[in-house]
Chains A and B, each alone.
Chain A
Amino acid sequence: MSGPNEPLLEVRDLAVQFFTYQGTVRALEGVSLSVARGEIMGLVGETGCGKSVLARSVLRLIADPPGKITAGAIRFKGRDLLTLSRREMRRIRGNEISMIFQEPMSSLNPVFTVGSQMLEVVALHQAVGREEGRRICVEMLRQVKMPDAEQVLAKYPHELSGGMRQRVMIAMELSCRPDLLLADEPTTALDVTVQAQVLAILEGLTRQRGVAVLFISHDLGVIAQLCDRVAVMYAGGIIETAPAGAIFAAPRHPYTRGLLHAIPRIAARQESLAVIPGSVPSLVDPPPGCRFHPRCAERFFPCDRVVPPFYEPAPGHRVACHLHAGEEGRRSWERS
């Protein structure tokens, strides 16, 4: 079972497909990722590369139909989440693993008060009475530095600002002391100043409580500031993982290098990838071999044929790119 050195979350060879009228969208393929206890893991990649799908898969929130997890395993504290019953899964959601979404404006139910929504979650996972539950909610709201925590419980979401709502979400999602928080671009929709406050609260609370975070963002600046390790995604796969320092100091994958080059020049985050020539490939009919090869300036003969495996050019730094293949790798292409 789960030993002390085993990662908290270990995703192995995960594949997710969406069956649509346009064809089968191969949204994730061969995705492997691990998150250690208490670690903040960043997940970056341009829009549509599958970051949200990955996070949702962990909680088994992929809508079926059209989506399906078609292969792989998601081990959490030694158990494969994909084999759990729905009931067991519900006991994990919001309790051991919780999730915060991008849109603070729409992620709270508009017709219930903040208090009733928070209390519902607390009461669901913890054997506490009304008074105790209320006390936990107020305490959590204080922890996210919500002014007038008591009064906020009686408010409806529309009476709060975006930043306040996102604090409510953080408070709600941490109220059951989860081990893992999936944060899907939790600050992207906020103003820059509010964003900084919310990030500080999120980081402070999770570090203090030892909550591991899978932090999804477009924003490399935020990732650099917050994360211990970073995984870079491209077109449905993870192409590079490394400690945050190493990714920024010595990126190995041509895509990651392009991504990093783009930062200082362009302020708007969304456009930051425009400097990499070409465009994001279709996931219905992705390029063979390395999915990045049509846009890659450094491609050579195996790239359009062989899916690159992971190489480890430095300890803890893994990259899926043929450029980093050793002698052995080269021999294997020549054989095929």
Chain B
Amino acid sequence: MRIVSYVLKRLAYLVPVLLGVTLLVFIISHAIPGDPARMMAGQKASREAVENLRRSMGLDRPLYEQYLRYLAGLVQGDLGFSIRNQRPVLEDMRDFFPATLELTLASMLLCVTVGVPLGILSAVRRNRPIDHLSRIFSVFGVSMPVFWLGLMLLLLFYRHLGWLPGSGRLDIGIDPPAFVTGIYLLDSLLAGSLGTFRNALAHILLPAFCLSYVYLAIITRIVRSSMIAVMGLDFITTARANGIAEIVIISKHCLKNALIPTVTITGLSIGELLGGAILTETIFNWPGMGKYVVDSVNFLDFPAIMGFTLVVSFAYVLINLAVDVVYAFLDPQIRY
């Protein structure tokens, strides 16, 4: 199949992209003033002790040698050793990354499952009450600062109404499900424990909504305007003139066309969702990469920073690939 070779080709491109990312991050993180050996040894350590530490960490070597060593480790699945946490970066990733991924995916899901139908509805019922409501909803979405929205959500749903939990991924006392993907919503279902699933769902609702709201608003508007544009095109008149029912015209003939620009926007939003997760995680005390990377930067924990960047870029590229595959599936004029 053409699509398979396309995916393989895209995966091959991943290698130079990731190589570029590591090089960039390596250079930037070493250009930051500061001395990790000193950070680790502590303020009171003797100069000699710091030098020893530096040597044992390989930080006395020329930069290119440090980089090559790092790459050699990567090839063997070794992301390095976190200076701050004193354990392999890979283990840190395994603990923190799934939380961020779960938040990002949940937000995307929200964007698509709410934004697309809402956009369609506003287009079909143009300038009717539902359209005005969705417009107001969208204007709020794009104009509200995330931290403020997060605080308001917490105030309302956690503090006053008490409907939803305000922090973390699970209630204290509930054990995380057995690790399969690290995404609690999935793992709890796989483990068959509905109670845990429900608890995890309650925890993710507020942060996921907070994170997704801007993109939800944008996607709603994009779907609306592209649906309206498509509804005016000739082939829709052809479909009507052929006696096809309105509901089929909207949900099949229009939608497949209108989804093409929507998928583009969704793809662009993913990177921002991943980035935006850091702020949202802070507000909702979500134990993901956000907090991890901030701490690592403060500590000049280079291996951790690089591990974070690498994993996030990897996820970003993969999700974008998935978007492109969907795109190729929707639009027959795409060459791949």
Binding site for B on A (CB under 8 A): 59, 61, 89-95, 98-99, 101, 103, 106-113, 120-121, 124-125, 156, 158, 169, 172-173
Scoring B residues 259 to 301 as 1 if CB is less than 8 Å from chain A, else 0, what string do you get? 0100000000000000000000000000000000000000000
Scoring B residues 226 to 255 as 1 if CB is less than 8 Å from chain A, else 0, what string do you get? 000000011101111111110000000100
- Are A109 and B332 CB-contacts (below 8 A) given A101-B234, A103-B234, A120-B244? no
- Of chain B, the residue at the smallest CB distance from A91 is B243
- Are A121 and B242 CB-contacts (below 8 A) given A106-B234, A111-B256, A112-B256? yes
- Decide: A61 and B244 in contact? CB cutoff 8 A: no
Q: How far is the CA of A92 from the CA of B260 in the complex (A)?
A: 32
Interface residue from B241, B332, B333 paired with A93 (Cβ < 8 Å):
B241
Chain B contact residues: helix, strand, loop or mixed:
helix
- Are A110 and B242 CB-contacts (below 8 A) given A156-B332, A158-B332, A158-B333? no
Q: How far is the CA of A106 from the CA of B237 in the complex (A)?
A: 10
A106 to chain B, nearest CB (A): 4
**List of A residues within 8 angstroms of B245 by Cβ:** 90
Q: How far is the CA of A287 from the CA of B246 in the complex (A)?
A: 39
- Decide: A124 and B242 in contact? CB cutoff 8 A: yes
- Of chain A, the residue at the smallest CB distance from B236 is A109
- Are A94 and B256 CB-contacts (below 8 A) given A110-B333, A158-B333? no
Binding site for A on B (CB under 8 A): 233-235, 237-245, 253, 256-257, 260, 330-333
**List of B residues within 8 angstroms of A106 by Cβ:** 233-235
Q: How far is the CA of A108 from the CA of B320 in the complex (A)?
A: 30
- Of chain A, the residue at the smallest CB distance from B259 is A111
A128 to chain B, nearest CB (A): 15
- Decide: A110 and B257 in contact? CB cutoff 8 A: yes
**List of A residues within 8 angstroms of B240 by Cβ:** 59, 61, 93
**List of B residues within 8 angstroms of A103 by Cβ:** 234
A328 to chain B, nearest CB (A): 43
**List of A residues within 8 angstroms of B241 by Cβ:** 59, 61, 93-94, 98-99
- Decide: B234 and A124 in contact? CB cutoff 8 A: no
A24 to chain B, nearest CB (A): 19
- Of chain B, the residue at the smallest CB distance from A158 is B333
**List of A residues within 8 angstroms of B234 by Cβ:** 101, 103, 106-107
Q: How far is the CA of A7 from the CA of B243 in the complex (A)?
A: 23
A140 to chain B, nearest CB (A): 14
B27 to chain A, nearest CB (A): 44
Would you give 15 A-B contacts (Cβ < 8 Å), ordered by A?
A: A59-B240, A61-B240, A93-B240, A98-B241, A98-B242, A103-B234, A107-B234, A109-B239, A111-B330, A111-B331, A113-B332, A120-B244, A121-B242, A121-B244, A158-B333
- Of chain B, the residue at the smallest CB distance from A118 is B242
A174 to chain B, nearest CB (A): 12
- Of chain B, the residue at the smallest CB distance from A155 is B332
**List of B residues within 8 angstroms of A169 by Cβ:** 238
Interface residue from A94, A99, A109, A113 paired with B235 (Cβ < 8 Å):
A109
Tell me the total A-B contact number using a CB cutoff of 8 A. 71
Q: How far is the CA of A112 from the CA of B240 in the complex (A)?
A: 16
- Are A124 and B256 CB-contacts (below 8 A) given A108-B235, A111-B332? no
B254 to chain A, nearest CB (A): 9
**List of A residues within 8 angstroms of B239 by Cβ:** 109
Interface residue from A95, A107, A110 paired with B243 (Cβ < 8 Å):
A95
- Are A92 and B243 CB-contacts (below 8 A) given A109-B253, A111-B330, A111-B331? yes
- Decide: B244 and A124 in contact? CB cutoff 8 A: yes
- Of chain A, the residue at the smallest CB distance from B248 is A120
Q: How far is the CA of A59 from the CA of B241 in the complex (A)?
A: 7
Q: Which of B235, B245, B260 has the most CB of A within 10 A?
A: B235
- Decide: A93 and B330 in contact? CB cutoff 8 A: no
B130 to chain A, nearest CB (A): 17
**List of A residues within 8 angstroms of B332 by Cβ:** 110-111, 113, 156, 158
**List of A residues within 8 angstroms of B256 by Cβ:** 111-112
Q: How far is the CA of A124 from the CA of B240 in the complex (A)?
A: 12
A250 to chain B, nearest CB (A): 36
**List of B residues within 8 angstroms of A124 by Cβ:** 242-244
Q: How far is the CA of A170 from the CA of B241 in the complex (A)?
A: 13
**List of A residues within 8 angstroms of B260 by Cβ:** 111
Q: How far is the CA of A156 from the CA of B256 in the complex (A)?
A: 14
Q: How far is the CA of A184 from the CA of B206 in the complex (A)?
A: 55
B94 to chain A, nearest CB (A): 41
- Of chain B, the residue at the smallest CB distance from A96 is B243
**List of A residues within 8 angstroms of B253 by Cβ:** 109, 112
B233 to chain A, nearest CB (A): 6
Q: How far is the CA of A116 from the CA of B245 in the complex (A)?
A: 16
Q: How far is the CA of A99 from the CA of B330 in the complex (A)?
A: 27
Q: How far is the CA of A101 from the CA of B233 in the complex (A)?
A: 12
The 6 closest A-B pairs by CB, nearest first: A94-B242, A93-B243, A106-B234, A94-B243, A99-B241, A156-B332
- Decide: A90 and B243 in contact? CB cutoff 8 A: yes
Q: A101-B234, A106-B235, A108-B238 are in contact. List 19 more A-B contacts (CB 8 A).
A: A59-B240, A59-B241, A90-B245, A92-B243, A93-B241, A93-B242, A94-B243, A98-B242, A103-B234, A106-B234, A109-B235, A111-B332, A112-B256, A120-B242, A124-B243, A124-B244, A125-B243, A158-B332, A173-B242
